[in-house]
Amino acid sequence: MTTANRKITEEQKRHFDTEGYLIVKGLFNEEDLAAIDRAFEEIGNRIVPGHFEPDLNAGLSDPLKRYPRVMHPHRFDETAKRYMLHRPVLEVLTDLYGEPPLAAQSMFYFKPPGSRGQALHQDNFYLKVEPGNCIAAWTAIDAADEDNGGLLVVPKTSGYDIACPELADANESFTTHYVKPPKDKNIVPAAMDRGDVLFFNGNLIHGSYRNKTKDRFRRAFICHYANESATHISQYYKPLYREDGTEVDLADNPDGGPCGMEFPLNYPH
């Protein structure tokens, strides 16, 4: 790919390669975001078995009972599928991979006020993309900061091996896995405006703290991708999709699973 055709600069590519992540501003315009708002407002008020199973009458003791994450909305919602294949995102991914991406997963996080975060983890522990790696495209639907539980990254851990997770603190994380960051690495908040996209490597250690605000959601549209030359992926993410929406079926990579196993609803926290 020539420099003239690239959607990111050499400096941005170098930052991704060395730090393991990159924030690209404004990849979703307000028209795009309004369509996503409408789609997930509609999804948020119903039950979609296997994808979104809230307790619509839940109280405030655990906001995630009322607003759990939506898994694979692209499998039942055309808006989610359209924006999983959002061309500006795919163009950046092509630059980062050096080849076309394949879309593997979509998720929508509401993260209402008071809800727990997600302990530090590595995404390719779950996707098991081989050869190559997964890349996440984490889109801020609401502005994300330290107060409302924005994403945290541990720079320069993208070159680390996939670690065997420890048990997370159920008082602070809704998922069970925790990857302890190296002692010489700092945890850095990724502050983002609405419409920004954070791209990060599948080995990068990342997570979030709880939403400490009383009145601000931290909604995010999160998709994962594989490089086109990959041959294997966890069966949970199949089928994958090319930019034109055609399906791609890679070989199964055993193990893997959803991006973070959740604590049972009755687990004490």
pLDDT at residue 60, as a whole number: 66
Q: What's the one-letter identity of residue 225? A: Y
Using alpha carbons, select from 155, 145, 137 the residue that is nearest to residue 192: 145
Please give the chain's pLDDT, 269 residues, in tens. Answer: 444 467 999 999 999 999 999 999 999 999 999 999 999 999 999 999 999 999 998 876 789 999 999 999 999 999 999 999 999 999 999 999 999 999 999 999 999 999 999 999 999 999 999 999 999 999 999 999 999 999 999 999 999 999 999 999 999 999 999 999 999 999 999 999 999 999 999 999 999 999 999 999 999 999 999 999 999 999 999 999 999 999 999 999 988 877 777 887 656 65
Look up the pTM and report it: 0.95
Burial of 47 (0-12, 13-18, 19+ CB in 10 A): exposed
Structural domains in the chain, CATH included, are 12-46+60-252 (2.60.120.620)
C-beta of residue 90 within 8 angstroms of C-beta of residue 82:
no
Token duo for residue 180: 């302890």
pLDDT at residue 137, as a whole number: 98
Tokens 């193990």, residue? 255
* Chain centroid to CA 102: 15
pLDDT at residue 1, as a whole number: 44
pLDDT at residue 244, as a whole number: 97
pLDDT at residue 257, as a whole number: 76
The DSSP result for 143-159, as a single string, is -B-TTTT-EEE-TT-TT
Q: Report the distance separating Cα 233 and Cα 256, nearest Å.
A: 8
